[in-house]
Structure 1
Amino acid sequence: MTTRRKLLATAGLALAVTLPLAACGGGDDAGTDTVQVAVLGPGSLQWLHAIAKDQGFYDDHGVTVEDIQVQNSGSLVQAVASGSADAGIALGDNVIKAVDEGADIKITGALIQKPALRLYGAPGVEDIADLAGAQVTAGATEGGTYELMLYMLQEAGVDTAGLTPVAIANSSDRVVAMQNDQVQGALLIPPFDTLAEESGANLLGWHDDYWLETPAIVNGPWAKENPEAAAGFTRGLADAARFFADPANQAESVRVLQEYADVDETAAQAAYDFISENDIFSPDLSIAEEGLTNIAEIGAAVSGKDISGFDPADYIDDGYLE
């Protein structure tokens, strides 16, 4: 399959919607616990999840995982908060917002502890200053990822007052939007950033600091009633993080992403190189609290909202990891 055909096939994932869900949790005849996990479309956000499934790490901890693909992170967090899903792999800013609004969910581990998102310009956009007054996408048109983009632009001296944000949930669709000149700038995750570069896009910037992009989350009441299942889900991901962090497993890690995201080896290898060389993944799912604090502080910097009293511990329960 050509890169172009792969890209268009992957872009179709944006059509996925939240499925009607049955009651969650429960065991099976083999004595394992079934955990229904809400996920986004295949890509590096769920790379450790894909490794955990491929290498049998969930099985090692006595859980069987059933994926429920949802359209966007907001829907994902809502599915976990409502109990329609037991657990999920979400975006950190959506989790903070949901908990602040009263959702009983907890972060049990950190998958992506520094932004995997990088800022790209469409073909012909070679300098970050060229994005002044442009149409741009960071996924949603508000919230953490858009605030991260605004912060990066403002730090580079770009006047963001004239930006037109466009909502495009998946990086694969953002690449197509850049090719079609629908947007002139976009935040992209691996491996789709490599596909964008192959089409002439230009890397403009990256925020190199802790910023909890992707945590593992659980429904609070479910986790209390099923602590072994919550621990099995979390520890399976932790084993996957340790597997990825071991250079001896590079080829296997690349293979998993290549198959999971349906991209060629070049794109998967480039994703591995960027993520491993820059410590994007937590090496053991441990949570750096400053990753949550930085989400709040960046949001405050671009919006002026009051974050006094923000405490990252309010969102975390790492007891299932230990």
Structure 2
Amino acid sequence: METEKIRVMWFVPPLLALVASQDAQAMTVHADRNCSSDEQFDALVAGDVDAVVTSMDNVIGWNRRAGPRDFRVVAQVERTTPLTVVARPQLRNLHDLRGADLLVDAPDNGFVVALRAMLRDAGVASDAVRLTPAGGVKERFDALVAGQGDATLLGPPFDSMAVASGFARIASVQESYPDFPGQGVVVRKAGEANPNVAAWLRALERARRRISGNAESARQAVLAAGFPGTVAEAMIAQNPGSLRPTTEGIALLIAHRRSLGLVGADNDYWTIVDDSMVEQCMGGMK
């Protein structure tokens, strides 16, 4: 009888989780779609979930908030998170965002840090834009389409949906920062001893290997979840080479915070990541 179960939250189900769920003996995953990273933070603090899938920068920000300050990234579930700056059609480039109202999840943690770094690199001062919290990727897409704000960061499938609705694609995080990392599995430090988290990571690792050897099975899992074929191909392209968070990606997150004068610039890889469960599941599957 299946007894393993895990409670997770995410913005969009990651490919590895979709493929893992197709296993005939898959563990039970109770997954909720969250509307913001703050909702993820609250759920982890309250113990309502065992893990969340989120921007790895959130760990840096969350560990500086009032609260437990014991968050860690235990795995990376995609090579990178494709992020596009989508704006109203009259805005053609990052320079045009001066004076714009930018819809974000949170102003000081998560993917917004990469957006702020891109603006700084383009010569747009931080006080030249307004950052308006509007929730997760779906919520930001809905708000933009509804006429709120001037631009936002979107990932698949919402970036292509926005362009199809007449909005302009003006920049991408990956074009500016090729080492930008994908989302991570985040737990509180006590979760590192949770056997169900470890079991889920083993399931995700089996899925990662399955995708590497059989992309068509992954495509079918994405289609079965209701996503279009173009999204399936984009997700498959981001299948990570390992669940271990990349040192280059973590270093980039820290460098962005340092360049922007944000808290957390004194972090290093090991204050953000605990790869012990990934190492254990890799070692047990060789």
Q: Please classify the TM superposition score into its range, dividing by the shorter chain length.
A: 0.7 to 0.9
1:112 paired to 2:102: no
Closer/same/farther in 2, CA of residues 139 and 218 from structure 1, 3 Å limit: closer
Report what 2:51 is aligned to: 87
The within-5 A match list for 1:80-159 is 80-100=44-64, 102-159=68-125
Report what 2:4 is aligned to: 33
Closer/same/farther in 2, CA of residues 124 and 178 from structure 1, 3 Å limit: farther
Closer/same/farther in 2, CA of residues 198 and 88 from structure 1, 3 Å limit: same
1:95-129 deviation per Cα after TM superposition (whole angstroms, max 9, x unaligned): 22333554334322101342322111223322332
Report what 2:270 is aligned to: 313
| Alpha-carbon distance, 1:290 to partner | 2.6
| Alpha-carbon distance, 1:31 to partner | 5.1
Q: Gaps (5+ residues) in structure 2?
A: none
| Alpha-carbon distance, 1:213 to partner | 4.2
CA distance in 2, matches of 1:275, 1:157: 32
8 Å CA contact retained: 2:60, 2:264: no
| Alpha-carbon distance, 1:191 to partner | 0.8
8 Å CA contact retained: 1:81, 1:103: no
Aligned identity (percent) is: 20
CA distance in 2, matches of 1:89, 1:304: 23
The within-5 A match list for 1:275-294 is 275-277=235-237, 280-294=238-252
Per the normalisation by structure 1, the TM-score is 0.74
| Alpha-carbon distance, 1:188 to partner | 0.2
Report what 2:16 is aligned to: 48
Report what 1:169 is aligned to: 135
8 Å CA contact retained: 1:138, 1:187: yes
CA distance in 2, matches of 1:91, 1:110: 10
8 Å CA contact retained: 2:93, 2:171: no
CA distance in 1, matches of 2:277, 2:202: 7
CA distance in 2, matches of 1:129, 1:276: 33
| Alpha-carbon distance, 1:76 to partner | 1.3
1:204-255 deviation per Cα after TM superposition (whole angstroms, max 9, x unaligned): 112233333411123432442x43x222111212222333344x424x4344
Closer/same/farther in 2, CA of residues 134 and 273 from structure 1, 3 Å limit: same
1:20-66 deviation per Cα after TM superposition (whole angstroms, max 9, x unaligned): xxxxxxxxxx15322222x134x3x633222221x228x35xx3222
Per the normalisation by structure 2, the TM-score is 0.83
Task: Single out whichever of 285-294 and 172-181 deviates more from structure 2.
Answer: 172-181
CA RMSD of aligned residues (A): 2.6
Closer/same/farther in 2, CA of residues 114 and 122 from structure 1, 3 Å limit: same
| Alpha-carbon distance, 1:138 to partner | 2.9
Report what 2:200 is aligned to: 233
2:99 counterpart SS class: coil
Letter in 1 for 2:58: N
1:218 paired to 2:187: yes
Closer/same/farther in 2, CA of residues 106 and 144 from structure 1, 3 Å limit: closer
CA distance in 1, matches of 2:192, 2:142: 39
CA distance in 2, matches of 1:170, 1:97: 16
Q: Gaps (5+ residues) in structure 1?
A: 1-29
